[in-house]
Chains A and B, each alone.
Chain A
Amino acid sequence: MALTNLSAVELAEKLRAMDVSAVEVVDAHLDRIAAIDGVAADGDVWRASPADELTSRDVHAYLHVTATAAREHAADVDRRRAAGDDLGPLAGVPLALKDVLTMRGAPTTVGSRMLEGWLPPYDATVTERLRAADIVVLGKTNMDEFAMGSSTENSAYGPTRNPWDLGRVPGGSSGGSAAAVAGLMAPLSIGTDTGGSIRQPAALTGIVGAKPTYGTVSRYGLVAFASSLDQAGPFARTVEDAAHLQTLIHGHDPRDSTSITDTPADLLATLRDGIDGLRIGVVTELQGDGYEPGVRRVFDEALERFERLGAKIVEVSLPHADYGLPAYYLIAPSEASSNLARFDGVRYGLRVDAPTAEEMNAATRAAGFGPEVKRRIMIGTHALSSGYYDAYYLQASKVRTLIAQDFVSAFEQADVLVSPTSPTVAFGLGDKTADPLAMYLNDVATVPASLAGIPALSLPAGTAEAPDAPQASLPVGLQIMAPLLRDDLMYRVGWAFEQDLGFTPIPAGDTAVEVQ
């Protein structure tokens, strides 16, 4: 089997046995990137906006390919392995990093013109930890600008395409990271999730993606969107790979004042324990109308599978879940309007010159931000402004408390909660760009867990048709939510489900990207 089709754990075994070198593994993935991602083979790539050289066959998962640094790191891993050094469990395995996390030696653009060409002077803690584990970074991935979006169409560098159907979106905002893994251009990637930006693209591209418990993965070096919600997490093609990757990146970081000192229980120790006797809660409010028939069918089959595996299905209610999305679309833009004030044309990024400081600020921000970012800054600024703060931001923050309390009650009746990850399968490029509110509704099932800070994972549950393509087979994601710091439980439930389902996370069909 091609090296690019192997899981991270399988690659790590081959690397440990010295059946293959880390350089060969990196080269196999760089070849794959050159073949399907719309970049010239062999060499470093820093894309510019707008990406007009792209064709409709290019996935465009990567914004920057750091081929030279990746080969150097891989060669170093090979040297140290040959010398008998004690290396980490995934040493030499390649990874794609979302372009929202800083890494020295390559640009961090956050999918925005505002930071086009910005070379960060420091590494994010996540980047540092990956380096310490000898994970080899292949490049930085495309995303909705400042992580605001659910389709990766808001990138200033052009959209990413779904490897399962190149005419459809990969979800977002971490669409590049999801497409890199689904398209076999990396076995692992890092995304960030604010309201579903890891889970929804994982669902739409048929892979595993997890949002860890808020505060367990450092945000140092993560360009902030909504600080009380942003959390980095893993993408992989297997549950075990994702659990390994989360284990490598989590843990307290004194450089992030919102980082907590607790770490979840060992994610790998109980992975294979099975789910016999576990209570799996189906959330009444996160199903039914608004979810596509194909998504509902696959979800119902998933519940039957859980019962066959010995779990007990219980119906639970999150009475305020329907208010999750409205609350989220006040809280996240409010935090964004404050966080993005730092892009003022002074310390980094774009500057548009003007006679006064205020005019320079306003002209720079008008030229540097795209339409969705402007929209959210405007919503947030309004929601925080004098006379509106109580009715909007404060009220939404109270609703957030009620949603967190709903989860506490629900977890008294169930060990984990499940729902479809997304109400739809992957939709067509351009289908929802004209209607911002329709795009926001993609996040309806993922934002409640975000507001409560609890861990949640999406994994493939099967395939279904799309409303506009009755013959299509597109991935459907299952969301598993666990109590705070019980990330181990969501991986354990996910692993049992994955083993029984036997889904092959490799794109197939006439519309899919080519696979060797």
Chain B
Amino acid sequence: MALSADEVRHVARLARLALTDSEVEALAPQLSQILAYAEQVGEVAAQDVEPTTHPFALRDVSRPDEPRPSLPREDVLAAAPHAEQDRFGVPRIVSEEG
């Protein structure tokens, strides 16, 4: 299928990518070409086939519920672009009046 510029913008919003207009223009034909190629998978009759998401059928892998040390807080926060009061800092998500 061919993706329009508006569809590219919609997908970019879902993917949290602030694309420029020239990126949108370049991506529309590229993504259309790649998807047209990938759509070949639809030629395979696979109605009754179970999907594979992992080469081995691992199920419910769990570890014993025992406390273990975590990474030191200061080491983890040292890598953050913005930290304050021992926390990751982010722009306000909830508005004042909300």
Contacts and interface: CB of A to CB of B under 8 A. Distances in A.
A327 B41 contact: yes
Interface string B43-85: 1101001111111101001010000000110011011111000
Contacts of A458: none
B54 A385 contact: no
Contacts of A346: 80-81, 88, 90
A360 B35 CA distance: 29
Contacts of A329: 34, 37-38
B33 A437 contact: yes
Nearest to A255: B63
Nearest to B10: A385
A323 B72 contact: no
Interface string A389-417: 00110111111111010000000000000
Interface string A351-391: 10111111111110110010100110111011101000001
B90 A398 contact: no
Nearest to A356: B91
A226 to B, nearest CB: 11
A121 B76 contact: yes
B72 A401 contact: no
Interface string B1-39: 001000010011111111110010001001101110111
Contacts of A339: none
Contacts of B18: 359, 362-363, 365-366
Given A257-B61, A366-B18, A374 B88 contact: no
A392 B30 contact: no
B95 to A, nearest CB: 10
A326 B71 contact: no
B15 A326 contact: no
B37 A401 contact: no
Given A228-B54, A375-B31, A404-B52, A391 B90 contact: no
Given A378-B8, A378-B12, A394-B51, A369 B40 contact: no
A375 B51 CA distance: 25
A144 B51 CA distance: 29
Contacts of B46: 395, 398-399, 401-402
Contact of A377 (B15, B41, B82): B15
Interface residues of A, number: 73
B30 to A, nearest CB: 6
A214 interface: yes
B33 A215 contact: no
A258 interface: yes
Contacts, number: 180
B11 A382 contact: yes
A326 B81 contact: no
Contacts of A374: 17, 19, 23, 27
Contact of B91 (A360, A379, A398, A402): A360
A391 B44 CA distance: 11
Chief secondary structure at chain B's binding surface: loop
B31 A382 contact: yes
Nearest to B94: A357
B43 A361 contact: no
A362 B17 contact: yes
A381 B30 contact: no
B54 A398 contact: no
B27 A378 contact: yes
A323 B91 contact: no
A43 to B, nearest CB: 24
A401 B42 contact: no
B41 A326 contact: yes
A228 B81 contact: no
Given A360-B91, A378-B12, A452 B27 contact: no
Nearest to A385: B14
Contacts of B34: 329, 375, 379, 436-437, 440
Contacts of B93: 356-357
Contacts of B72: 121
Contacts of A381: 11, 14-15
Contacts of A503: none
Nearest to A404: B52
A401 B51 contact: yes
Interface of A: 118-122, 214-215, 228, 254, 257-258, 260, 320, 322-323, 326-327, 329-330, 337, 341, 344-351, 353-363, 365-366, 369, 371, 374-375, 377-379, 381-383, 385, 391-392, 394-402, 404, 436-437, 440, 451-454, 484
20 contacts: A118-B79, A121-B76, A260-B58, A323-B40, A330-B38, A346-B80, A351-B82, A357-B92, A365-B16, A365-B17, A374-B19, A378-B8, A378-B12, A385-B11, A391-B39, A392-B38, A394-B51, A397-B53, A400-B52, A436-B33
Interface of B: 3, 8, 11-20, 23, 27, 30-31, 33-35, 37-44, 46, 49-56, 58, 61, 63, 71-72, 75-76, 78-82, 88, 90-93
